[in-house]
Amino acid sequence: MTLLTLRRRLVPLTGLALILSIAAAAPTTAQALPSSNDPVDAQTAAGFAGYLESLRGKARAQGVSDATFSRAIAGLSFNPRVAALDRGNLPTASDAPIPDFEPYRQRHIDARKIARGRAVYNANRTLLVGIERDTGVPEEIMVAIYGHETNYGTITGDFDLLRSLATLAYEGRRRALFEPELIAVMVMMERGIPRERLVGSYAGAFGYPQFLPTVYLRDAVDADGDGTPSIWSSEPDALASIANYFVRAGWRKGEPWGVAVRVPAGFNRARVASTLTPTRCPRVFGRHSRWLSMREWQALGIVPERGAMPDGAIMATLLEPDGPGKTAYLLTGNYRVILDYNCSNFYALSVGLLADAVRP
């Protein structure tokens, strides 16, 4: 089966990285967080109900029938816990110190996760080989995303998506982001997705790859042939959908994500510093050097920690996540595709390193 024969669910909507960073940054302490069942004052309850009803026309314009809309909002109530989680998720200060990567790597790429990833890799080889052939997305990259997002399907979230997204849209702090996601869930219901499947993170990501509803509608594919892209229960569907996401994000066939390297003592970092001012994810891209070819990096004394350097014509940036004297990385355009999934250097590095460890 080729990816071109897989059934697609496509709409031209937004990407995934922002919402993943929102969900990942949820408060880690439990104090002062209200329960999902805490009472809501009458004014909030009335405003919430009125807001939901005001969306009927927008949902109808997206193909949602009145019957499906009424079924979707029936019984929904404002979730104070979701609102508190979102309000507690404040942006990181631009001048906040960035910790070392190594402790993060050790927590997220351990022997157990590698072993489980190899088991998933081997169990899906026939499918994965075909998807890589058709898309150019490496088998191990699909598996690594699956492993990082939900620990291979074991942690997918238990928040009701309709209630969470309705709460976040009504709360208003990021209505422009969450309202389309709420309507997208209704579109999923219109297309026959069972109501009981609509569960995930408090911020609306769901399924094995933790897609947003809009991303599901755009990128999810039916790889197992049952007629539905069941990314919440089917590993083939989830893995193929991850690949489809990466193709749309610009994955280049045959190009590695990056390579671990050693930087020589006395290296002139000012010589390779980027002169660009990043407008997107400045704390991420601001740490990258300017682009040079692998051949040019090698001429400057950069050598791989093991194995051979990638093709000399491939362009890459240099990142030293733990500072001089520690492992550094030359990162290609495909690394930027991983960042499209979640705009975090630590996340993207750990996906690449887990992928390298998973493939025999």
Residue 37: pLDDT above 90?
A: no
Give me the pLDDT at residue 29, please: 45
Contact status, residue 94 vs residue 283, Cβ threshold 8 Å? yes
CA-to-CA separations, 110 to 100, 152, 321, 350, in angstroms, rounded = 17, 14, 19, 11
Instruction: Evaluate if residue 246 carries a pLDDT over 80.
Output: yes
Asked whether residue 7 carries a pLDDT value surpassing 50, the answer given is: no
User: What is the pLDDT at residue 39?
Assistant: 83
Q: What is the pTM of this model?
A: 0.90
Q: Does residue 25 carry a pLDDT above 80?
A: no
- DSSP letter string, 269-310: GGGGB-----SSSHHHHTT-B--EEHHHHHHTT-EESSSPPP
Residue 121: strand, helix, or coil: helix
- Rounded distance, CA 331 to CA 342, Å? 16
Give residue for tokens 């040019």.
Answer: 296
pLDDT band at 158 (very low <50, low <70, confident <90, very high): very high
Kindly state the average pLDDT of the residues 314-339: 98
Question: What's the CA gap between 27 and 37, in Å, rounded?
Answer: 19
Q: What is the mean pLDDT of residues 178-189?
A: 98
Read off the pLDDT of each residue in 229-244 and give the average, rounded to a whole number: 98
**What is the distance between the alpha carbons of residues 30 and 319, in angstroms, rounded to a whole number?**
35
Q: How many other CB atoms are found less than 10 A from the CB of residue 293?
A: 14
Per-residue tokens: 61: 């314009």
Domain ranges of the chain: 101-150, 258-331
CA-wise closest residue to 81 among 160, 2, 16: 160
Residue 78, both tokens: 């404002």
- Find all residues with CB under 8 Å of 49, minimum gap 6, and list them: none
pLDDT of 33 reads 80
Better pLDDT: 95 or 123: 123
* pLDDT computed for residue 2 by the predictor: 35
Q: Max Cα separation, the chain? A: 69
> Higher pLDDT residue, 62 or 33?
62
- 172 band by pLDDT with thresholds 50, 70 and 90: confident
